[in-house]
Copies of this chain bind each other. A is one copy, B any other.
Amino acid sequence: MMDERRKAILRVVVEEYIETAQPVGSTHVARAPHVTVSPATVRNDMVALEQDGYLHQPHTSAGRVPTDKGYRFFVDTLVQPGPLDEDELQQVGSFFAKAHGALEEMLHDTSRLLSGLTDYASVVVGEPPEDATVRSVQLVGLGARHVLVVAVLSNGAVTKAHLELADEIGEGRLAAATTHLSRWLIGAVLGDLPPVPPSGDSLVDAAGAAAVSALRSAAHRPDPEQVFVGGASRMAAAFDAVDSVRRVLGILEQQYVVVGLLRGVLDRGLSVAIGGEHGVESLLECSVVVAPYEVEGEVAGAIGVLGPTRMHYPKALAAVAMVSQRLGRRLSDDA
């Protein structure tokens, strides 16, 4: 039975708790504008909200704290991604106005921007380049049996892989292999590379095969050079137990967990995972706000913000939405 008054009360509790990190009492709630009833009435409703699982009482004679369910309701029905402040808008604007340089640099800076806007940790992940096409392939010798494959993709990324061949291969053969591969691979979609027919030279074919298999495996995992985590130090400020900080940092250091996290949450568009919802045990006290960004209509990656469950959702939602949209637009008109 969630009538308007209870919604209002829940909203005040959540907002107040996000601000102060202190359990919120009935008197505080009653003093808020838009709540016109007395503390006693608020108390009655709070009991109901607690029974329904939206609020929690740390101990008798303490105020109430939102549960994950409470935050969820708040995010789903009580909050519209409030607009950004004037100067934050300007910050985003001027960032994208002067952003330049390579894709990686841009994603990296975007991560800093997001942390700066929200004061939480931020994550920026490029999608695996399955749909990108190959613009260039080259084999470069580094020593007797060591070869580097370097491929430039249509999205501006550069994939490289280190090959160790069974036999030595000379410069001439490498050049031949490069030419041969280029003929068959340039223009192909990375996630669906065509078979490369034999060239008649077994050494060339061996190198080619190694290169193709390296590229194939690069197609399906996000380039580790396109995963950026920023603002971890800001997380420290949000928690007061050193131990929590340690746990969260530990997760942020494991890029594959972070990438999985974003993937998991990113069902459709802008979304939020609160507390336990994302299923990463060490991040029970954290929420994640994520949005994909699209380059020329295709999802090209995701950006997100990781903060405490009591994060400032309206602001985080607004920032993530804004930045993902601008980033996508920026990367589109650039290509």
A residues neighboring B (CB under 8 Å): 100-105, 108, 135-136, 138, 140-143, 146, 148, 150, 152, 154, 156, 158, 160-162, 164, 224-225, 230-233, 236-237, 239-242, 245-247, 249-250, 252-253, 334-335
Q: Are B138 and A136 in contact (CB under 8 A)?
A: yes
Q: Are B242 and A230 in contact (CB under 8 A)?
A: no
In the complex, A335 Cα to B143 Cα: how many Å? 5
Closest Cβ–Cβ distance, residue A283 to chain B (whole Å): 13
Contacts of A105 in B (CB 8 A): 162
Q: Are A102 and B253 in contact (CB under 8 A)?
A: no
Residue of B nearest to A141 (CB): B135
Contacts of A103 in B (CB 8 A): 162
Contacts of A253 in B (CB 8 A): 230-233
Task: Name the one of B148, B154, B224, B236 contacting A156, with C-beta atoms under 8 angstroms.
Answer: B148
Task: Name the one of B154, B158, B232, B334 contacting A232, with C-beta atoms under 8 angstroms.
Answer: B232
Closest Cβ–Cβ distance, residue A246 to chain B (whole Å): 4
Q: Are A101 and B142 in contact (CB under 8 A)?
A: no
Q: Are B236 and A246 in contact (CB under 8 A)?
A: yes
Q: Are A142 and B156 in contact (CB under 8 A)?
A: yes
Contacts of A154 in B (CB 8 A): 142
Contacts of A104 in B (CB 8 A): 225
Contacts of A146 in B (CB 8 A): 156, 334-335
Closest Cβ–Cβ distance, residue A215 to chain B (whole Å): 14
